[in-house]
Amino acid sequence: MDELPQYPAYAERVLEVAELIPPGRVMTYGDVAEWLGEGGPRQVGRVMALYGGPVPWWRVVRADGVLLPGHELRALDHYRAEGTPLRDASRVAEGHLPRLDMKRARWDGVELRDASPGVAVPGDVPHSEGAHNGAHIGQLPPNGGAAGGPTTVRGT
């Protein structure tokens, strides 16, 4: 990262992952936590809320594809400029903003690892407990959900 202020170690790691996400792609808060092998969606969300300004914050998103409340228009400008896949709002939701097309926009980091052999990226070493439903840190479980769970957000 370019001369960012000193951040707590976990925040630094979260922000580094945010910078790895390619333009036009996104990771959910849970995906970032899974990539790191620590924390959870709420911890990642808190880091992004407190420290995410200097990084491409619009690429770390809710699992349901809803744009970040209070920052929808700024995020939408970034998504359109980067060609991030979007889903139009339904006809019954006239006047509402589109959502991210999570099936097409979601990034698991595998392309980075495959394209950069020998380059250390988060998740190159399996988690010491070896859990995560057979996935290594930095690679999402086969179903695409954080920690092997569903790809929906509860209670948000």
Handedness of CA 40, 102, 109, 16 (dihedral sign): negative
Instruction: Express as a percent the part of the chain with pLDDT over 90.
Output: 56
Residue 23 binned pLDDT confidence (cut-offs 50, 70, 90): very high
pLDDT band at 91; cut points 50, 70, 90: low
Contacting residues for 140 by C-beta, under 8 A, at least 6 apart: 31, 34, 35, 108, 109, 146
Give 39-74 pLDDT, tens digit per residue.
999 999 999 999 999 999 999 999 999 999 899 999
H/E run at residue 11 = helix 9-20
User: In this model, does residue 126 exceed pLDDT 50?
Assistant: no
Structure tokens at 52: 């995410």
Calpha distance 34→41 (Å, rounded): 9
Residues in the chain: 156
Residue 55: predicted pLDDT:
97
Q: Is 60 helix (H, G, I), strand (E, B) or coil?
A: strand
Q: What is the pLDDT of residue 89?
A: 72
Domain range 9-133, its CATH number among 1.10.10.10, 1.10.150.120, 3.40.462.20, 3.40.309.10: 1.10.10.10
Mean pLDDT of the chain: 76
Give me the residue spans of the domains in the chain.
9-133
